[in-house]
Chain A
């Protein structure tokens, strides 16, 4: 039974109860709006409005030093017409695909060892240690790999010291360096997400499979792996999004031999200050990420439970 505060339980009739609860509900809603509006306003002003601006600017064109502010899709036409733009997209997709696959393949067994083989009381320390280098600055991390892979760097010195090679290998300013830098970061990220999904798996499942006569390999293949696959997929999607949009790692480690899409976007800002083209390229980048998201969401939905 609802009681209304203004008139007290004795004199209250149904109508005034409804009226009072309506007032309360309206007041509750008003308070909610007051609290959510600053955040929504901020997001609208500094996230949505910039994206809309970018979409509009991408339809303008830069002619010489002047910007023609008229609706025109020539930037998008240029994207498909000029081979170096398409090449950058292809490079981005190839590097991202390699990085995602290699990182998952390296991180999964590692996360499995941490979750299943390391004694429970050491696990927290083990996982904290495994992601410790995560906290190095993002620019500095790529620089550190540059040191490791440079001509006179640690890897070349060690390989030459062991007599495995005679002359230093050229590893910096290559795709190999870019991929190594990315894989380093995403192995840590994926170890964390895969470890979390392995820990969520009730231990009874593996025991039940063993009781039913499955060996460790079959248990893993038919029970553990399928049940952790959605977690892997989420981690892989995160890897894809962060990797394809990154400028720093390919710029520092890959150099200018082969450009990826974010590097080409940044080039538009530098030389000619061609904001419209940079906008159009960014929209293309967003389109690729959205497409990946849709494919990923669809896979997660259509999977037999």
Chain B
């Protein structure tokens, strides 16, 4: 009886793993297809479509735009989130609960609505669409996460260290730069990498707010209009690899350190 139950458990877990990996396996496998259609029978392996991707100017430009927006918006989101987290954790401010609520509120609104609202505001104010506006949208989406992650990482021990630094004559900016930020490095890095992976992958806000310069997900979206092609598989596999790389980097740098201390 016990053996039957544990066998059933193994079969079930294997089935879920299979379900979860099926689309990724198909995506990556048929990125090595040599024919024009990414469906069985598999006639590869060939690197033809990776060559096409690297030769595709629009895709490469979109890749660069995505990297720029992801890093830029994440940096801004982390700085704003860090300052706000420090203010609300270390200083007694009136209405702190309301401030916290406002800062995390964008998490509860769907990204489509955030993007549409920004589109309407920009339209009314005569601000033109573009990568800068996409970046602003991504800061709105990422700041709550950065704030929450860094806020949760602040401890009482750090407060004493900051006080000691101040008593020894450090100016407020020096305290933040030399004491607080280094001690908070793990949550700050975690917030930054999470924001980068999120922004790098974000579609709807980028789609609504960009015009000529587009980010990678938007370029992939327009590639989909031409139907199924192994080129989409190839770029999709590359994006997947980059995201996995970021996650592994995060795991190795941040969580290892947390685990050790």
Chain A residues with CB under 8 Å of chain B are 25, 28-29, 31-36, 38-40, 42-44, 46-51, 53-54, 57, 106, 109-110, 113-114, 117, 128-130, 132-133, 135-141, 143-148, 150, 152-154, 157, 184, 187-188, 191, 241-242, 244-248, 252, 262, 265-266, 269, 275, 278-279, 282, 285-286, 289, 293
Contact = CB atoms under 8 A, between A and B. Distances in A.
B136 to A, nearest CB: 6
B201 A138 contact: yes
Contacts of A31: 87, 91, 172
Contacts of A29: 91-93
20 contacts: A29-B91, A31-B91, A42-B143, A43-B102, A46-B139, A57-B124, A110-B12, A117-B6, A132-B20, A132-B24, A132-B244, A133-B24, A137-B239, A137-B243, A140-B235, A144-B26, A187-B16, A187-B20, A275-B120, A286-B113
Interface string B218-261: 00110010001000110110011001100100010000000000
Contacts of A34: 87
B35 to A, nearest CB: 12
A160 to B, nearest CB: 10
Given A138-B217, A252-B224, 16 more contacts: A29-B92, A35-B87, A40-B103, A43-B140, A57-B120, A113-B13, A137-B216, A140-B236, A147-B228, A150-B39, A152-B40, A154-B22, A157-B40, A184-B20, A187-B16, A245-B111
A252 to B, nearest CB: 7
Interface of B: 6, 9, 12-13, 16-17, 19-24, 26-27, 30, 37-40, 80-81, 83-84, 86-88, 90-93, 99, 102-103, 105-106, 108-114, 116-121, 123-124, 136-137, 139-140, 143, 147, 172, 197, 201-204, 208, 216-217, 220-221, 224, 228, 232-233, 235-236, 239-240, 243-244, 247, 251
A28 B81 CA distance: 19
A28 B92 contact: yes
A147 B16 CA distance: 19
> Would you call the interface of chain B mostly helix, strand, loop, or mixed?
helix
Contact of A140 (B6, B17, B232): B232
A187 B30 CA distance: 24
Contacts of A132: 20-21, 24, 244
Nearest to B200: A137
A46 B140 contact: yes
B192 to A, nearest CB: 16
A9 B247 CA distance: 55
Contacts of A40: 84, 99, 102-103
Contacts of B12: 109-110, 113
A46 B221 CA distance: 26
A147 B6 contact: no
B26 A143 contact: no
A16 B111 CA distance: 53
Contacts of A53: 117, 120-121, 124
A36 B27 contact: no
B83 A148 contact: no
8 smallest beta-carbon distances between A and B, as pairs: A245-B110, A32-B91, A50-B117, A39-B84, A144-B23, A140-B236, A36-B87, A35-B87
A150 to B, nearest CB: 6
Given A136-B239, A144-B236, A244-B110, A282 B23 contact: no
A136 B103 contact: no
B13 A114 contact: yes
A28 B91 contact: yes
